[in-house]
A and B are shown apart, each in its own frame.
Chain A
Amino acid sequence: MVDAYYPGSLAEALELRTERGAIPFAGGTDLMVKYRRPAGVLPELPGPVVLLGHLDELARITEEGGILHIGAAVPLSVIESDRRLPYLLRSSASQMASPALRNVATLGGNIGNASPAGDGICALAALDARLRIAGSQGSRSISLEEFITGPGTTLLREDELITEITLRPSDCTRVFYRKVGTRKANALSKLSVCADAAVQDGVITDIRIALGAVAPKVLRMKDIEESLRGSTPEELSERIPDVLAAYEKHIRPIDDQRSTARYRKTAALRLAEEFLRNLSEEENRE
């Protein structure tokens, strides 16, 4: 038997986390696959689950003072079509799984599952997302980057739930999103590149590059990004080889049933280069 709880409120859901150790179930598209058993046999979940998809508190997208709050249980199909959300996030949501799965899969679930190939995580990493975590002792805020510690591991405590993802406004308009999947749709990522940048008065004022599925967690190198801020496109052009060399040192992909380490590394670097090259060759449009 699998016990599944259907709480009436977030408070009740937190209580179930604390008292029963219930596993957060926010769509279940990873859990039901991970713990599936043959036809006619119940999934072997390691404990009771607490269903979250129906909770209003977790299913809203709001904007307050320019900050976007995305409920952890908002389905991907809503995210891909909400024009308030950054294009990078919508692009990545729209290329995850299939329409049927996107109707139930959630961003909070994607984060909680913490797969190195999680497409939502890569986009959110590039957007400097923070998470709101609720627990029995109150709530806290943490950056996504800090929250995910490795493949399948996070800093979520046993009495906690991810309640929302928060995004600060950004000036970035040079968006680059490439998912390299096993095929063109309904595919898992071999690797992905999420990047964006802002250019003002001929100077790069902001730049973020996140590489997915090429290391135990999404790779973002803020020191490099910092060093590129203030550059002109021409200056960037000269820096590209050094920048790529720095990324290369930190890309540590694996060989698996979907791709090879060498391919992941080479393609990720090529795509990062494509983004930087586009940016450096850009005419001053401002």
Chain B
Amino acid sequence: MNDSISNPVRRVDAYDKAAGYAQYLADMKFEGLLYGRLIRTPVSRGVLTGVELPEMPEGYRYISAADIPPGGENRIQMIKSDWPVFVSDTVRYLGQTVGILTGPDRQRLHELASKITVHCRTQEAAYTIEEGLACRGGAIHGDDNLFADFHLKKGDPEAAFSQADRIVEDTLETGFQEHVYMEPQGITAEWKEGKLVFHASCQCPFYIRKAVAPSVHMPYENIIVNQTTTGGAFGGKEHFPDVIASALAVAVYVLRRPVQVIFDRREDMLYTVKRHPSQVLFRTALDAKGRITAMDIDARLNAGAFESCSPIVLQRTIFSANSVYDIPNVNIRGRAVATNTVPSDAFRGFGAPQGIFAAEMHMSHLARELGTEESEFKRKYFLAKGGKTVTNGTVREEVLLEQMWSRAAELSGYYEKLKAYPPGSYRGIAPAFYLHGGGFTGSGEQEIINGKVRITGSKDGSAEILLSNVEMGQGTATTFSKIAARVLDIPLDRVKIANPSTARVPDSGPTVASRSIMVVGKLVERAASQLRERWGGTSDESVLVQYEHPPWIRWDQETLQGDAYPCFSWGVCIVEVSVDPGTWEVETLGVWTGHEIGRAIDEAIVHGQVIGGVNQALGYGGLEKLELSGGGFAQHTLADYSIPTSLDFPKVTSFLVENPYEYGPFGAKGAGELVFDGAAAAYAAAVQRAVDRKVERIPATPEYIMEITEA
């Protein structure tokens, strides 16, 4: 066995989690704890006209916008601050927070909560992208309901369209998706020695600190956020904890007692953020030989009621709208549309899965139309080193997709199966290709985050990593520790890493955007290497390093032109299905994936990410129907919202191809989101071949497959 860093180790958090020793928020004890229940609007849109309260027994309080302390403002500071802590007049979505009811006994709290009546004057609401664009009921945001309206241009699409031999049109749609982290959202806040202290299941402790500061008018040094062991997040705990924390901040400021809000599953499914539904319209110009000369793309995301991070999600959608293909002339418009649904927000892939699904299915439809085999058609357009992205940035790395394709095709028996299952044979196999830009989009890393990492060495020979990126099940506690141990040349168990507290760690940025290993891991590597220079394991030493942007990057945030990402991770996925001709139920017979992520810091952890990401994506593609119903969601229990079980999809065959990246630790790039990006498209394309009908949206449920085959 070689001594590659990729060789798996036992995860540093495995024992405590497997044995039940890990303390999650609900396990922690607080002296004099009060519970909080959020009181919500009963309508999707309107004006709050009053709240009728029952008589409050001693120890029970209802806290709302009127209780915001002097100097405080009724707003949650995310990227924008349009989302208020408590509704004071305008209601924008069903279940928006009106107030928080607190008290010592949950039974009593529940009884009191059920006696509160929230009165609203109802207005006509807009729920869908179409309704949002049409400003149904009047504009919710600005005068056009657009949180963002971006335009990209590559080459000369107008000229290419004017010379087109023919133009092919297509509309692709994706639905909402619920995160279904195992541990629901929850935060406890307390008042300690003049400071407001949060214990939060979250991805971004420093985001919470920033979010709550305006509402209680307190400086950052008096707000402390401690991440608690987090049972999954998938993006759902990037911004949404800010919403709970802000209400708690006001409550604890008033009460000076610890207050806890932990959602139950139903509440979590109904009232927390979801993946953005999308609608992507393509117009593609083909020349007489059937070659693509230009694309015109109109991408719309249902952003929900408040802006949150929708413009940045939208950027990733449009930057991914050509997937791995180098199309010479492209016009792209992207719009994030305000509606009266729960705000859409971050979810593994952050807009890329929508763009890639649309691009892959459109390419698949073009291949069908032209009578060309799908993989052969797609491979003609692969980006290569030096190729131009849709933002006119440059691909800097060798693109190994051909090599990955050969391996995946061989492992899956793709070409034999293609012959054996002609279109319409109710068996199908299809590929998807995808990429994921590493780290924050655009200039975020250097201009907004500028992450810092500290490593301290002690005279007992141990070292501690101090950073704000959280372990949430994805394995970062282990991978960061491996990087430090390897560079410092000390055993893994001599490296300590704890759940971060904003009072203790430097701000290395949020745990998002597949940046933890690539960007923050690099800081760990640099800090460890500097520490090694002056620490022999017999003294106390400390090193702080700060982010340095790769020097070659050119980016203009105003025009969205240049290198949107310093590098990309790449993937290929092949899915084989059979469709029951009687019930249109899909049996997935095989899944083969290959990924290029620079270098794996731990192969077992990456493999876990692949299996989890692919299954989550197959659920997105085939099972996870989440429909709006009267402004809420029709599927709001785990009985009705179907995430995959271990029987739904087969073993995932997975391989990695190495291609070390200079600015990642040991050559590592991002992996956590990439592995989600492609499987839904491969699944949909396999179903499409099986029934020989165009699949235009996901989830491709049996009901949908029936609709297209029986049409």
Q: Is B644 an interface residue (CB 8 A)?
A: yes
| A266 touching B635, Cβ below 8 Å | no
Give the residues in chain B near A183, CB-CB below 8 Å: 623, 642, 644-645, 647-648
Give the residues in chain B near A33, CB-CB below 8 Å: 639
Spot the interface stretch: B156-164, B430-438, B578-586: B578-586
Which residues from 245 to 269 on chain A have a C-beta closer than 8 Å to any C-beta of chain B? 256-260, 262-263, 266-267
- A182-205 vs B, Cβ < 8 Å mask (1 yes, 0 no): 111111100000000000000000
> In the assembly, what is the distance between CA of A30 and CA of B29, in Å?
32
Give the residues in chain B near A140, CB-CB below 8 Å: none
Give the residues in chain A near B110, CB-CB below 8 Å: 37-38, 41
> In the assembly, what is the distance between CA of A174 and CA of B262, in Å?
52
Most buried by A among B262, B584, B642: B642
Give the residues in chain A near B645, CB-CB below 8 Å: 183-186
Which residue of chain B is the closest to A274 with respect to CB atoms?
A: B582
A-B CB pair tally, cutoff 8 Å: 71
Number of interface residues of B (CB under 8 A): 31
Which residues from 228 to 243 on chain B have a C-beta closer than 8 Å to any C-beta of chain A? none
| B585 touching A180, Cβ below 8 Å | yes
Give the residues in chain B near A42, CB-CB below 8 Å: 107
- B253-270 vs A, Cβ < 8 Å mask (1 yes, 0 no): 000000000101001000
Most buried by B among A178, A182, A187: A182
Interface of chain B, helix or strand or loop or mixed?
A: loop
Q: Is B703 an interface residue (CB 8 A)?
A: yes
Nearest Cβ in chain B — how far from A253, in angstroms? Answer: 12
Give the residues in chain B near A259, CB-CB below 8 Å: 703
- With contacts A38-B264, A40-B35 known, is A260 near B703, CB below 8 A? yes
Give the residues in chain B near A37, CB-CB below 8 Å: 110
Q: Is B403 an interface residue (CB 8 A)?
A: no
Give the residues in chain A near B264, CB-CB below 8 Å: 38-39
> In the assembly, what is the distance between CA of A259 and CA of B642, in Å?
12
- With contacts A38-B264, A38-B267, A182-B642 known, is A263 near B702, CB below 8 A? yes
Q: Is B445 an interface residue (CB 8 A)?
A: no
| A257 touching B627, Cβ below 8 Å | yes
| A267 touching B582, Cβ below 8 Å | yes
Which residues from 621 to 663 on chain B have a C-beta closer than 8 Å to any C-beta of chain A? 623, 627, 629, 634-635, 639-640, 642, 644-648
Give the residues in chain A near B583, CB-CB below 8 Å: 178, 180, 267, 270-271
- Of B582, B627, B647, which is within 8 A of A184 by CB? B647
Give the residues in chain B near A184, CB-CB below 8 Å: 645, 647-648
| B703 touching A263, Cβ below 8 Å | yes
> On chain A, which size bracket covers the interface?
20 to 34
| A257 touching B640, Cβ below 8 Å | yes
Q: Is B139 an interface residue (CB 8 A)?
A: no
> In the assembly, what is the distance between CA of A274 and CA of B110, in Å?
51
| A271 touching B648, Cβ below 8 Å | no
Nearest Cβ in chain A — how far from B76, in angstroms? Answer: 24
- Of B107, B627, B703, which is within 8 A of A40 by CB? B107
Give the residues in chain A near B647, CB-CB below 8 Å: 183-185
Nearest Cβ in chain A — how far from B636, in angstroms? Answer: 8
> In the assembly, what is the distance between CA of A182 and CA of B582, in Å?
16
Nearest Cβ in chain B — how far from A273, in angstroms? Answer: 8
- With contacts A184-B647, A184-B648, A257-B627 known, is A266 near B706, CB below 8 A? yes
Which residues from 15 to 49 on chain A have a C-beta closer than 8 Å to any C-beta of chain B? 33, 37-42
> In the assembly, what is the distance between CA of A185 and CA of B645, in Å?
7
- Of A40, A257, A274, which is within 8 A of B629 by CB? A257
Q: Is B192 an interface residue (CB 8 A)?
A: no
Give the residues in chain A near B584, CB-CB below 8 Å: 263, 267
Nearest Cβ in chain B — how far from A115, in angstroms? Answer: 12
| A182 touching B640, Cβ below 8 Å | yes
| Interface, chain A (partner B; CB < 8 A) | 33, 37-42, 178, 180, 182-188, 256-260, 262-263, 266-267, 270-271, 273-274
Known contacts A38-B267, A270-B582; 8 further A-B pairs (Cβ under 8 A)? A42-B107, A182-B642, A183-B645, A257-B635, A258-B640, A262-B706, A267-B582, A267-B583
A-B residue pairs in contact (CB < 8 Å), sample of 6? A180-B585, A180-B702, A184-B647, A184-B648, A266-B706, A267-B702
The 3 closest A-B pairs by CB, nearest first: A40-B106, A270-B582, A257-B634
